[in-house]
Each structure stands twice: as structure tokens, then as C-alpha cells.
């Protein structure tokens, strides 16, 4: 596959991202249980702060690879727009770790079947942007994704399960060269709600088509509702890429419009 073809696919997928990918559960507060306080449309803004543990692998001249591990503060902003049959969330983050500026953005969207159905469908997609700038290097990672699968609601437990299959196109640009990879995705999203608590998790395994190294990603989030407009939350993110591996734990307040 040529570089031009890869970029064309990325552009095409990006154009459709607004219609597709996994969102975290929509949560707002007005009464004593989460199930009773969901509005038709929810907008939530959440600044977060925490720590990022970064493992950076740099590829130098003559194939020499060096590895560095460091932990440093991380800052981010999470945005959520949700509707009973659609959700869109975006997470912007920044850290300076391993003497490198690390910035990124995770954009996910999700379309659901009927809200009242215990078994229905889900179609989603997303776009990951990751920029790593160590001394003497500049690494950019772009990963559009698409996925689909059944959605199972276990109302007695307040639990929703979404196993899915998907596909991703990864483009990596560095000063020493470029790389394009394609992956099959095997994933599971889950959300849980009980009284003033809500939690969600999204895990997927990236199976590289050409037989190269595979990678894993995990996003987890939990919130505690405090009032009609305020909540406190924490999130755990684990992401593997060819050049980096990041584990971050963040927390902060959320304002619900």
C-alpha cells in the first residue's frame, strides 16, 4: 500500500468519524439514582490532572534502539455530548515526560439502536492523534478506527456490554522515515450504573495484518455524582504504540450542562 493510499484512507475515515465510535456512558444528576437523572441530551466538561508513566523507544541511526522510562504530571480536558441514540466524546491531553513533549487527542463517537431494547446494535469509530517530541526527533501517530457489534443491556445489574470487531489504519511519521500499518480490532466495551455511581471501560486488541507486533489499549472511567451539575471522576488509560507505551491515571471535577 502506498503512502498516498494510506493517507487517503485516513482522510476518508476521518470524514466519517462524526458518525462512528465508542463513547463513555452519558451521566447527569437530578435525583438519587443515575438511571433516573439521564436527560435526553447531555453536555459535560471535565478538566483532569494526574500522572503519566511513559516508556519511549527511539530508533536511531544504523538500527540502534534506545528505551527510556519516566513518570511526570499530565493535564487534560474531557468533553462529552450524548443523546439516547448517539454519543460523542473527546479527550485532549498533554505531558512532558522522558524529556519529550507528549500531546494527543482521542475522539470517539457511537451510534446505538433503540434505547429500550435489551439486545440491539452499535456502530462506532474514532480517531487517535499522538505527537511525541524528544530531543532530535518528532513522532506523529494518526490512527482512525471503525467498529461494529451487538449491544447487550442487563438492566437488573445496571450493566451494558458491547463486544465488537473493527479495523484501524495507523500512520507513523518520524524524521527517520514513515510507516503505515493496518490492524484488525477485537474489543469489548462495558458500562455500569448504580445510584450515584457510574463506570465504563473499553478494551481492544490490535491484531496487525502483516504479522508484525500486536498492541493493546484500555480506557477506564468512574464518576461520582454530587449534584445536578457537578460530579467527580477518575480515569485510567493504557495505550501501546510502536514507539511508546503510556499508562496514565487522572482525576478531576465535571460540570454537567
The proportion of the chain whose per-residue pLDDT surpasses 90, expressed as a percent, equals: 60
Given CA atoms 106, 110, 116, 119 in this order, what sign does their dihedral have? negative
Instruction: Name the band, by pLDDT with cuts 50, 70 and 90, for residue 22.
Output: very low
Strands 159-174 vs 139-154: parallel, antiparallel or unpaired = antiparallel
CATH of the domain at 222: 2.40.160.40
DSSP 149-201: EEEEEEGGGTEEEEEEEEEEEEEEEETTEEEEEEEEEEEEEEEEEETTEEEEE
Pairing of strands 119-133, 159-174: unpaired
The CA-based angle 133-21-192, given to 5 degrees, is 105
How is residue 111 annotated by DSSP? Answer: E
pLDDT in tens, 104-162: 999 999 999 998 899 999 999 999 999 989 888 898 999 999 999 999 999 999 999 99
CB-based burial, 57-95: b 16+ in 10 Å, e otherwise: ebbeeeeeeeeeeeeeebbbebebbbeeebbbbbbebbb
Domain that includes residue 220, residue range = 3-256
250 burial (CB, 10 Å; 0-12 / 13-18 / 19+) is buried
Report d(CA 198, CA 78) in Å as an integer. 16
Number of domains observed in the structure of the chain: 1
DSSP 8-state code for residue 25: P
Look at 65 and 86; give whichever has higher pLDDT.
Answer: 86
More confident residue, 182 or 40: 182
Amino acid at each position: 500500500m502506498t503512502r498516498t493510499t494510506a493517507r487517503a484512507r485516513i482522510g476518508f475515515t476521518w470524514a466519517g468519524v462524526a458518525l462512528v465510535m465508542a463513547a463513555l456512558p452519558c451521566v447527569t444528576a437530578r435525583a438519587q439514582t443515575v438511571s433516573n437523572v439521564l436527560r435526553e441530551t447531555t453536555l459535560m466538561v471535565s478538566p483532569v490532572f494526574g500522572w503519566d508513566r511513559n516508556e519511549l523507544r527511539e530508533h536511531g541511526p544504523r538500527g540502534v534502539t534506545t528505551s527510556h522510562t519516566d513518570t511526570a504530571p499530565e493535564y487534560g480536558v474531557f468533553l462529552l455530548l450524548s443523546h439516547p441514540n448517539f454519543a460523542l466524546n473527546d479527550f485532549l491531553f498533554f505531558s512532558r515526560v522522558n524529556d519529550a513533549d507528549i500531546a494527543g487527542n482521542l475522539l470517539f463517537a457511537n451510534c446505538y439502536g433503540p434505547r429500550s431494547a435489551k439486545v440491539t446494535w452499535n456502530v462506532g469509530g474514532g480517531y487517535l492523534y499522538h505527537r511525541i517530541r524528544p530531543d532530535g526527533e518528532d513522532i506523529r501517530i494518526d490512527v482512525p478506527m471503525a467498529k461494529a457489534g451487538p449491544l447487550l443491556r442487563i438492566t437488573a445489574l445496571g450493566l451494558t456490554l458491547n463486544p465488537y470487531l473493527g479495523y484501524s489504519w495507523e500512520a507513523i511519521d518520524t524524521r527517520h522515515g514513515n510507516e503505515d500499518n493496518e490492524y484488525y480490532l477485537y474489543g469489548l466495551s462495558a458500562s455500569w450504573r448504580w445510584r450515584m455511581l457510574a463506570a465504563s471501560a473499553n478494551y481492544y486488541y490490535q491484531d496487525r495484518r502483516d504479522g508484525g507486533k500486536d498492541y493493546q489499549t484500555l480506557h477506564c472511567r468512574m464518576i461520582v455524582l454530587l449534584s445536578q451539575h457537578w460530579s467527580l471522576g477518575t480515569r485510567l488509560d493504557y495505550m501501546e504504540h510502536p514507539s511508546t507505551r503510556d499508562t496514565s491515571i487522572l482525576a478531576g471535577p465535571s460540570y454537567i450542562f
